[in-house]
Structure 1
Amino acid sequence: MKVVIQRVSEANVVIEGNKVAEIDNGLLILLGIVNEDTQEDIDWLCKKVLNLRIFPDENGVMNMSLIDFGGDIIVVSQFTLHASTKKGNRPSYIKAAKPDVAIPLYEQFVKSLQSEVGKPIQTGEFGADMKVHLINDGPVTIIIDSKNRD
């Protein structure tokens, strides 16, 4: 399971001209899933994401987690995070989990975040053609792969 986390001052997701998710200060999380991912990956990744100290404290130092800061979250499925570009110029997405595996893991990831944060987590729509708009605050962008825990 791989995430790209962006600290945002605002973000939204639009599908077919309709805004389906919108937040102010918080995190936009792009989530990529592979067949080998499990609940253990979800648990580890949720804990890591929610406890990253990437929000400013009263002195402007990145010393607060999302939970400390009270920010919101949008999670967007992104199979292209697992693109392989080793051969040729057309990325291969063979590592990305198919929907029958990815959708339940995606939904569980969102539920796990929600239970820890204690408020609704906004999402895009799995498999949809989405337009993601954001203002990256900082900019702060962090990539985490649950398979690289060491």
Structure 2
Amino acid sequence: MRAVIQRVSSAKVAVAGRVVGQITGPGLLIFLGVGREDTQSDADWLVGRIVKLRVFESEPGRMDQSLLAVSGQALVISQFTLYGSLKKGNRPSFNRAALPEQAVPLYEYFVTQLSQALGIAVPTGEFGAHMNIDAQNDGPVTLVVDSQARDF
């Protein structure tokens, strides 16, 4: 699993003009891609990493607080394009991304595990839909975490 994680002060996602997920206050906007090799253990590892990720500041310039420590929220957006490859030219190939029959259950499992770890419901976008995402980035702070390349 691959995640692009942004620290935000607020974020929302809309499908066909209707807001389907939203967070306010300190939080993380998580773009999540599921690869063909991914399993539930990848989701478990990624959830454990995200909730402990120290990207929130206790004082200016010192990122030492986790999502758990600040009682923050998370918004998860499915994004298969995180597995896009430009190895063979300018048109991305997505053959490393999991097919929907594998990706949907793992995506839902990830969201469930993240909700349990945070003790609150985690809003999401709509898998496979065209989404409009508005985010108020805080920092900006953006990280990429990959369960297959854990030293990324």
Separation (CA, whole Å) in 2 of partners of 1:135 and 1:85: 29
Deviation at 1:74, TM superposition (A): 0.5
Q: CA RMSD in A?
A: 0.8
Name the counterpart of 1:16: 16
AA aligned to 1:23 is: I
Displacement over 6 Å in runs of 4+: none
Q: Which runs of 5+ in 2 are unaligned?
A: none
Q: What are the superposed Cα offsets for residues 43-84 of structure 1, whole Å, 9 maximum, x if unpaired?
A: 110000110100011x22211000001111100000000000
Separation (CA, whole Å) in 1 of partners of 2:79 and 2:49: 19
Deviation at 1:148, TM superposition (A): 1.1
Q: What are the superposed Cα offsets for residues 73-119 of structure 1, whole Å, 9 maximum, x if unpaired?
A: 10000000000001121100111111100000000000000111000
Name the counterpart of 2:112: 111
Name the counterpart of 1:91: 92
Q: Which runs of 5+ in 1 are unaligned?
A: none
* SS of residue matched to 2:68: helix
| TM-score, L = length of structure 1 | 0.97
AA aligned to 1:99 is: P
| TM-score, L = length of structure 2 | 0.96
AA aligned to 2:72 is: G
Alignment of 1:34-53 (within 5 A): 34-53=35-54
The count of aligned residue pairs is 149
